[in-house]
């Protein structure tokens, strides 16, 4: 299934890797480098999935997730945290903020697409 995926990620290397992997499987990738830009892109483009870094400038990913999940126009779009925050309770904090999933960084290129596509089905 080919999908439109919004990546909200401020680190250029991470954004490049996510984009490369997703495009290699035929997905369309939209990019945003900070939270408000990501929210605006989600509202404008209605992606099939949002991949959200938690450690963002200006507005952290938890705040972005809360705004995305509280917007009636975006309720059907899964939001997956893709983050290096992997301590006890971090997954629960992301899910509590409105994320529907959680993928730890550093991502494993061999399993990343399968993890992402799980949220598309």
Predicted confidence at residue 40, as pLDDT, reads: 98
pTM summary value: 0.96
Q: Which of 30, 77, 27, 87 is nearest to 54 (CA)?
A: 87
Predicted confidence at residue 86, as pLDDT, reads: 72
119 found inside a domain: no
Residue 14 pLDDT class (50, 70, 90 cuts): very high
CATH number at residue 20: 3.40.50.2300
Query: Per DSSP, what are the bridge partners of residue 81?
Result: 52, 102
68 found inside a domain: yes
pLDDT, tens digit (0-9, with 9 covering 90-100), for 24-76:
999 999 999 999 999 999 999 999 999 999 999 999 999 999 999 999 999 99
Question: Tokens 């991502």 map to which residue?
Answer: 107
Residue 121 pLDDT class (50, 70, 90 cuts): confident
Q: Counting every residue, how long is the chain?
A: 121
Contact 53, 79 (CB under 8 A): no
């Amino acid at each position: 299934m080919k999908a439109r995926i919004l990546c909200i990620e401020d680190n250029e290397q991470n954004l490049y890797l996510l984009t490369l992997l997703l495009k290699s499987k035929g997905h369309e990738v939209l990019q945003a480098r900070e939270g408000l830009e990501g929210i605006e892109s989600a509202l404008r483009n209605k992606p099939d999935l949002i991949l959200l870094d938690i450690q963002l400038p200006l507005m952290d990913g938890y705040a972005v997730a809360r705004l995305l999940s509280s917007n009636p126009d975006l309720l059907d779009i899964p939001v997956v945290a893709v983050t290096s925050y992997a301590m006890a309770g971090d997954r629960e904090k992301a899910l509590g903020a409105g994320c529907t999933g959680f993928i730890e960084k550093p991502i494993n290129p061999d399993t990343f697409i399968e993890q992402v596509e799980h949220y598309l089905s």
